[in-house]
């Protein structure tokens, strides 16, 4: 009789299958890729791009089979084939308008990553039996590049997106990579398409960047795919941070949750989003913009649609001003880059005025704070919606009216945090979070 190498006693769980076990395995896979760097899965090394993107050296030399941005091949599109539409026109149709180029890179279990290719934007080719079409083996990221008021192109904390995408790929059994190499590829696409699609004549404009990875192995069967495709696109995206009258939220129905503890709400995988559309569409048909997702028997407030949610109130016991948002420790919600930036800016610049609190809180606490007149303002935070003021929460027939400041457009603290972040993104404030990408 063969004895197991790690005997498991009756009644004990297999630690390798727990969330902490999975996290340990992810860290173990990431370590060789990072070659000693601190640019880890959880977003260490917070200050923008590393020198690897600006001067081409970082101490990490990709080995054979690893993702290697230095092997990028370039096939340029005809620069006169497509004209750049104005922002309103580009965002008014039913199709996302992308720039001239995209980057693709194929991975195979037998040989690793092939040379990435920058080429004209166009269709992908997949077999009907591709893993992604049946088993949701896909993940993605979302970030923006900005044309500053000083004429320069900038990204915003792209290392955090690259780190998170690595975590997502490993969570969904897709291949790992060095986040620094992904950053280089993102920057290269911006370098090539930025000058035309974000011209200096349009300061204050942005493009949305979408790195994604899909399992492409053409074989049915529930298994980790042995083939995958990484691709990166750049596109227009409508501005969603100033809806008329503020964002109106409808709490989630009692029989639906967007994410759950022990699941994958912390990873940016497509399976987090599709199932939420039923409730979202119903809420929108009733005049609300997004769902405020509640979780558990106590109905904890988690996220506003696919964005993180913040509420500013005065604490019941002390009267102290608190900026409250759901925590990350139970891996229920996404560690949003905008969320993290709001938390860090508020702690750095508003510490004498308010306390930033990351904790679980319930919809009943929100209703109580409303009755007692303690709610000051609220906002949603994410890449797509940026920082969007929330004006109303509807819950089981009750409505919480949230102050929108003297102008009726935004609360004062929401506007202050949003203004600081915009200044960083568009170059009014020189900050390491917003590295400059050289125009080609």
248-265: per-residue pLDDT in tens?
Answer: 999 999 999 999 998 999
The number of CA neighbours under 13 Å toward the Cβ of 231 is 18
Q: What is the mean pLDDT of residues 198-207?
A: 97
Q: Does position 198 have pLDDT exceeding 50, yes or no?
A: yes
Distance, CA of 127 to CA of 406 (rounded, Å): 56
* pLDDT tens profile 351-364: 999 999 999 999 99
Closest CA relative to residue 306, chosen from 273, 284, 263, 283 = 273
Q: What is the mean pLDDT of residues 172-192?
A: 97
* Residue 271 CB contacts under 8 Å (≥ 6 apart), including other chains: 136, 264
φ/ψ (deg, to 5) at 362: -110, 165
Q: In this structure, are residues 102 and 231 in contact, taking their beta carbons and an 8 Å threshold?
A: yes
Q: In this structure, are residues 391 and 402 in contact, taking their beta carbons and an 8 Å threshold?
A: yes
Per-residue confidence (pLDDT) for residue 23, from 0 to 100? 66
Closest CA relative to residue 162, chosen from 266, 36, 41, 272 = 41
Q: Does position 396 have pLDDT exceeding 80, yes or no?
A: yes
List the beta strands (DSSP E) in 252-367: 290-295, 300-304, 307-314, 321-325, 355-358
Closest CA relative to residue 53, chosen from 139, 162, 150 = 162
Q: Does position 49 have pLDDT exceeding 60, yes or no?
A: no
* pLDDT tens profile 301-328: 999 999 999 999 999 999 999 999 999 9
Closest CA relative to residue 400, chosen from 260, 278, 272, 251 = 251
Q: Does position 20 have pLDDT exceeding 90, yes or no?
A: no
Distance, CA of 54 to CA of 209 (rounded, Å): 19
Q: What is the mean pLDDT of residues 67-81?
A: 96
* pLDDT tens profile 338-353: 999 999 999 999 999 9
* Mean pLDDT over the full length of the chain: 90
Distance, CA of 131 to CA of 115 (rounded, Å): 22
Q: In Å, how far are 172, 174, 324 from 223, measured between CA atoms?
A: 11, 11, 40
> What is the H or E stretch that residue 180 is in?
helix 179-197
> What is the H or E stretch that residue 375 is in?
strand 375-382
């Amino acid at each position: 009789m063969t004895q197991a190498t790690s005997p498991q006693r009756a009644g004990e769980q297999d630690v390798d299958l727990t969330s902490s076990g999975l996290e340990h395995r992810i860290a173990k896979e990431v370590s060789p890729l990072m070659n000693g760097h601190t640019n880890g899965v959880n977003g260490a090394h917070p200050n923008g791009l590393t020198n690897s993107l600006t001067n081409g050296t970082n101490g990490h030399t990709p080995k054979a089979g690893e993702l290697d941005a230095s092997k990028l091949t370039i096939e340029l599109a005809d620069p006169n084939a497509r004209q750049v539409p104005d922002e309103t026109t580009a965002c008014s149709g039913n199709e996302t308008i992308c720039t001239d180029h995209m980057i693709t890179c194929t991975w195979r279990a037998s040989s690793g990553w092939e040379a990435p290719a920058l080429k004209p934007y166009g269709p992908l080719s997949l077999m009907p039996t591709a893993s992604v079409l049946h088993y949701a083996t896909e993940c993605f990221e979302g970030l923006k590049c900005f044309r500053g008021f000083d004429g320069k192109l900038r990204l915003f904390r792209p290392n955090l997106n690259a780190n998170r995408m690595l975590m997502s790929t490993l969570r969904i059994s897709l291949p790992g990579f060095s986040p620094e190499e992904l950053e280089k590829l993102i920057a290269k696409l911006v370098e090539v398409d930025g000058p035309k699609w974000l011209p200096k004549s349009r300061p204050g404009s942005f493009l949305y960047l979408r790195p994604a990875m899909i399992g492409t192995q053409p074989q049915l069967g529930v298994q980790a795919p042995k083939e995958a495709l990484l691709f990166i696109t750049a596109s227009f995206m409508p501005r969603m941070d100033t809806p008329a009258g503020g964002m109106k939220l409808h709490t989630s129905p009692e029989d639906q949750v967007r994410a759950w503890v022990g699941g994958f709400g912390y990873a940016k995988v497509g399976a987090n989003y599709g199932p939420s559309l039923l409730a979202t569409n119903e809420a929108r048909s009733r005049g609300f913009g997004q769902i405020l997702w509640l979780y558990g028997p106590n109905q904890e407030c988690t996220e506003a649609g696919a964005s993180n949610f913040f509420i500013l109130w005065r604490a019941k016991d002390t009267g102290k001003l608190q900026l409250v948002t759901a925590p990350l420790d139970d891996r229920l919600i996404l560690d949003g880059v905008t969320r993290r930036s709001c938390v860090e800016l508020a702690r750095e610049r508003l510490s004498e005025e308010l306390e930033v609190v990351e904790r679980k809180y319930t919809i009943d606490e929100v209703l109580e704070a409303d009755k007692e007149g303690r709610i000051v303002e609220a906002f949603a935070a994410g890449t797509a919606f940026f920082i969007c003021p929330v004006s109303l929460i509807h819950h089981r027939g009750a409505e919480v009216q949230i102050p929108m400041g003297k102008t009726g457009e935004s609360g004062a603290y929401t506007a202050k945090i949003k203004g600081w972040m915009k200044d960083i993104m568009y170059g009014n404030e020189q900050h390491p979070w917003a590295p400059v990408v050289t125009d080609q």
